[in-house]
A and B are shown apart, each in its own frame.
Chain A
Amino acid sequence: MFRTFIVGILLGLAAAGAVLYYFPVVNQSRENSLIVVHPNQGNTESFHINVPMDRIMIGASAQPNPLPAGLEWPADEQFADTRAELFKIRNAKDAVVGVASRVAASHAESGDIVEWVLHLPARGSVFLNMQTEPSEAGYRIGELRRGTREFSVLQGHVTERWVADTSGFEDAPAGRIELITALVSAEFDDEGVNDE
C-alpha cells in the first residue's frame, strides 16, 4: 500500500505539472480581425467609438459635468490645455475589442499634439501620432509610431474622423469617431518589395 502511495505522489506531481503546462492560465477572448484588402493593393482595418456610450473619461479643465461623475481633474495650470480621453473601441461589426486613449494638448514649449493609443488585449497595442490640424475633407491623418506584439512588425497610417449620426433613432449615438488603419509589414517598402 505504501508503494501505491508513492506511485500516487509521482502521478500527482506529473498530473499537476501537465495541467499547468498544457492548460493556459490566461485565455483572452477574441473577435475576428476584420481586415479589408483593397483592389489597389492596400488593406485597412476599421475601428470606431460610439459617442457618448463608449466614452470612459474626459479629462479636461473646467468641465461643468465631469465624466465619469466624481472625476477630480487636476486644477494645476500646466494641465489647462490638456484633454485626455479614454474610450472603448469597436470593430467593424460593432463589437467591443479594446480600449483607447486620446490625448490632445497644446503647449508653447512642447508644441501641439494629438495622439492615440489603441490597446487590443488579444492582439497588442498601437501608438499613433496624428496631425494636429484636420484636412479640408474633415480627416485627421496620423502615423503608426510604435506597435506591440501583433503590430510590432507593422508600419503605416491611420485616419481619424467624426461621423455624426443621421439615423434619427431615439437610442442612437450622437455620432462616432472612426479610425481606419492602413498597416503593412515593415519588411516591405512602399513598392511592396522586400528590403532584405
Chain B
Amino acid sequence: MKYLISLFLGMVVGAAALAALLYFNPFTAQNSLSPLSVTDNELISLNYSAVAADALIFTNDGESQVAPYPAKVLQLWEPPIRKTVAMATVLADSRNQAVGIGIKFSSDSESTNILNGKALVDSVWHIYLPGRGSLFVEQSENYWSYLREIVVPAHWSSGDNWRGIWNGNITSGPGALGTARVVGGSGEFSGLNTEGVESFAAKAYSVEQGPVAISANLAIEIPRLELATTPDP
C-alpha cells in the first residue's frame, strides 16, 4: 500500500513539475518588439480599448468571464460559435481621433498547444476607415505571455486582480516574422497586400471582470509605391 501511495505522490509531483516547467519556460517568452518597428514604410496605427464595456458591442457565449456588452446583445451560445467572440469598436489614430470602425471575430484555435507555449486564437478584422477604404486582417494570436504574466498572477493575487505595466505583441502569425496578413478591400487600400501587428498595453486586470485597463494597437504597414525606373538613354 505504501508503495502505491508513494507512486501516486510521485506522479502528482511529476505532473506539477511539468506544469512548473511549462509555466516558467524562458523559451516561450514573447517578444514585445514589433517586427514592423524597423520598417521604412508608412504605418497606419489604429488604437482601441480592449475593455469590453468600451466597445460598441462585445458578445460571447454569455457564460465566459467577460460579460457581453451592452447587456441585451445577442449571445453566441450555439455550439459552433460558443468559443467565438465578436466585437465592434471605434478605431482611433495616434492622436486619439476616431478614424474608423473595426469588427473583430476571434475563435479559440485548435492549433493551441500548451507544450509549446501556444495559447492560440484565430481572429479576423473587418475595418472601414471613411475616406480611405476598407481592410481585412487575418491573424493568429498567441495569448500565452498574457496568460502567464497577467491572468495567472491575478488569480494568485489576494485581491484577485493584477496591476502593472505589460506591453506585448499578441499577433503570432501567419506571417513568418509573426505578422498578420492584411488585404485591402476598397478605396486607397484596393489591391493592397501587406502585414500588420496587434499589440496590447495592459495596466489592470480583474479576475471577476477580465481586462480593466488594456489599450490595444493594430499597426498596418503600407508599402511605398515602387517607381518604375527606365534606363538612361
Contacts and interface: CB of A to CB of B under 8 A. Distances in A.
Interface of A: 1-2, 4-17, 20-21, 24-31, 54-57, 59, 68-74, 76, 78-79, 81-82, 84, 86, 88, 95-99, 101, 103, 105, 107, 109-111, 113, 115, 117, 119-122, 124-125, 127, 129, 145-146, 148-149
Given A59-B88, A110-B130, A12 B185 contact: no
Contact of B10 (A8, A30, A121, A122): A8
Nearest to B111: A26
B84 A59 contact: no
B76 A99 contact: yes
Given A15-B14, A29-B82, A113-B128, 17 more contacts: A9-B17, A13-B15, A25-B114, A56-B74, A68-B70, A70-B71, A78-B98, A78-B131, A96-B81, A99-B105, A103-B126, A110-B134, A113-B133, A120-B80, A122-B80, A127-B124, A148-B124
B8 interface: yes
Chain B interface category by residue count: 35 or more
Name the residue in B8, B73, B81, B132 with the highest tally of chain A Cβ atoms < 10 Å from its Cβ: B81
Nearest to A27: B110
Given A8-B9, A12-B11, A115-B186, A110 B133 contact: yes
B83 A125 contact: no
- Describe A's contact surface by its main secondary structure: mixed
B186 to A, nearest CB: 5
Interface in B47-105: 56-57, 59, 70-74, 76, 78-84, 86, 88, 90, 98, 101, 103, 105
Contacts of B71: 70
Given A71-B57, A88-B74, A117-B105, A5 B81 contact: no
A30 B83 CA distance: 12
A17 B21 CA distance: 11
B222 interface: no
B70 A74 contact: no
Contacts of A145: 136, 183, 185
The 7 A-B pairs at the shortest CB distance, nearest first, are namely A8-B10, A12-B14, A70-B70, A110-B187, A12-B11, A29-B79, A121-B107
B189 to A, nearest CB: 9
A99 B83 contact: no
Contacts of B74: 54-56, 68, 88
Contacts of A96: 78, 80-81
A5 B84 contact: no
Given A59-B56, A127-B183, A79 B126 contact: no
B124 to A, nearest CB: 4
